[in-house]
């Protein structure tokens, strides 16, 4: 089932083109990352699909139009820094959120357990760390049992521990089968949490698909030898290796995944080349991202 269809969205602020004919399709159960540098149009996109901003041109539709104007009740979202009453407890703040959303079936203990805050449910919000405040905001998005959860840069401003805690919480929510849409400029975050990704830059969609399809299946080899020139010539004559380039005192080459580093080592030895360093690694989203956006 299509959860969200975006068609040719464009939005400008004066002379600044924030979005330029952006089209996306997000399906039920996906953990969808909108990835791009700061200023790429991620927050503008979220603002439009939540009805906060008006697009100049284009359209979007939630749930194939199934719920009409009431679709917003089926969405939980955090777009800005979490705001709660500082002297009220986590539980009381969630009750206020329930009242605002008109929800009467919420299990606060269950929601707080999900974000690992049940032990602090009676503590005032003002006593929370930044990571705890962000996790309470995530809990608030779960009020009303929405089908879709939306986060804009959910780990912004957090220390490493806070980032790890929020990431774990998002992974847990994703495992419940809800559709999650997350805007981020942090590659590692998207790679670890998301099933699908759209890469945007300057309001343009550069690539979209499952994280597995965006990630190259090629293996990157790092090689080193006392005779780098000879090693380079040797690599150039192996048909299933490509892009042999010098990086510092090493060479890097892309290898077809149907072959192995053992084959490379054996062939090099047979040619009289002794490898002093041979490491393989999968192409990461970071490398793909830099390749796509440069």
| Average pLDDT over every residue of 111-129 | 92
Q: Which positions ≥6 away from 175 have C-beta within 8 Å?
A: none
Residue 294 banded pLDDT, cuts 50, 70, 90: low
pLDDT of res. 193: 87
Please list the residue range(s) of the chain that carry CATH number 3.30.70.100: 219-293
Give phi and psi for 271, each to the nearest 5.
-90, 5
**H/E element, 130:** helix 130-141
Could you report the per-residue pLDDT of 4-59, keeping only the tens digit for each? 999 999 999 998 999 999 999 999 999 999 998 888 899 999 999 999 999 999 99
Strand 196-201 versus strand 204-210 pairing type: antiparallel
Residue 19: the pLDDT is 94
219-293: CATH class: alpha beta
Q: Indicate the SS3 state at residue 40.
A: coil
User: What class has domain 2-213?
Assistant: alpha beta
Contact present, 182 and 154 (Cβ < 8 Å): yes
Give the closest residue to 210 by CA, choosing from 26, 72, 57, 2: 26
- CA 169/CA 24 separation, integer angstroms: 26
Contact 250, 222 (CB under 8 A): yes
Q: Give me the percent of the chain exceeding a pLDDT of 90.
A: 39
- Report whether 158 contacts 128 (CB < 8 A): no
DSSP secondary structure code for residue 147 in this structure: S
Question: Rounded to the nearest 5 degrees, what angle is found at the Cα of 203, between the Cα atoms of 207 and 184?
Answer: 70
β-pairing, 196-201 with 179-184? unpaired
Q: Where in the chain is the domain with CATH 3.40.50.300?
A: 2-213
- Phi and psi, residue 122, nearest 5°: -100, 5
The rounded radius of gyration (Å) of the Cα atoms in the chain is 24
Residues 78-115 have pLDDT tens digits of: 887 778 999 999 999 999 999 988 888 889 999 999 88
Distance in angstroms (rounded) separating the CA atoms of residues 153 and 185: 7
pTM to 2 decimal places: 0.75
Residues 6+ apart with CB under 8 A from 292: 199, 206, 207
């Amino acid at each position: 089932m299509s959860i969200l269809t975006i068609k040719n969205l464009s939005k400008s602020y004066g002379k600044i083109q924030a979005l330029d004919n952006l089209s996306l399709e997000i399906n039920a159960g996906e953990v969808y990352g909108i990835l791009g540098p700061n200023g790429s149009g991620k927050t503008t996109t979220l603002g439009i699909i939540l009805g906060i901003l008006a697009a100049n041109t284009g359209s979007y539709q939630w749930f194939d139009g199934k719920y009409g104007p009431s679709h917003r009740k089926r969405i939980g979202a955090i777009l800005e820094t979490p705001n709660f009453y500082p002297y009220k407890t986590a539980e009381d703040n969630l009750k206020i959120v329930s009242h605002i959303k008109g929800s009467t079936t919420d299990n606060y203990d269950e929601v707080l357990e999900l974000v690992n805050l049940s032990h602090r449910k009676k503590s005032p919000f003002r006593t929370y760390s930044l990571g705890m405040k962000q996790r309470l905001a995530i809990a608030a998005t779960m009020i009303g049992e929405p089908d879709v959860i939306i986060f804009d840069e959910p780990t912004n401003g957090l220390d490493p521990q806070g980032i790890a805690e929020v990431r774990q919480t998002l992974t847990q929510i994703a495992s419940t089968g809800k559709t999650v849409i997350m805007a981020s400029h942090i590659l590692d975050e998207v790679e670890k949490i998301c099933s699908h990704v759209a890469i945007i830059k300057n309001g343009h969609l550069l690539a979209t698909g499952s994280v597995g399809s965006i990630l190259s299946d090629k293996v990157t080899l790092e090689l080193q030898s006392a005779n780098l020139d000879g090693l380079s010539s040797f690599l150039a004559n192996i048909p299933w290796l490509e892009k042999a380039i010098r990086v510092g005192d090493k060479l890097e080459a892309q290898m077809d995944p149907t072959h192995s580093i053992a084959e490379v080592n054996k062939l090099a030895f047979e040619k009289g080349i002794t490898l002093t360093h041979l490491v393989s690694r999968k192409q990461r989203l970071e490398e793909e991202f830099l390749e796509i956006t440069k």
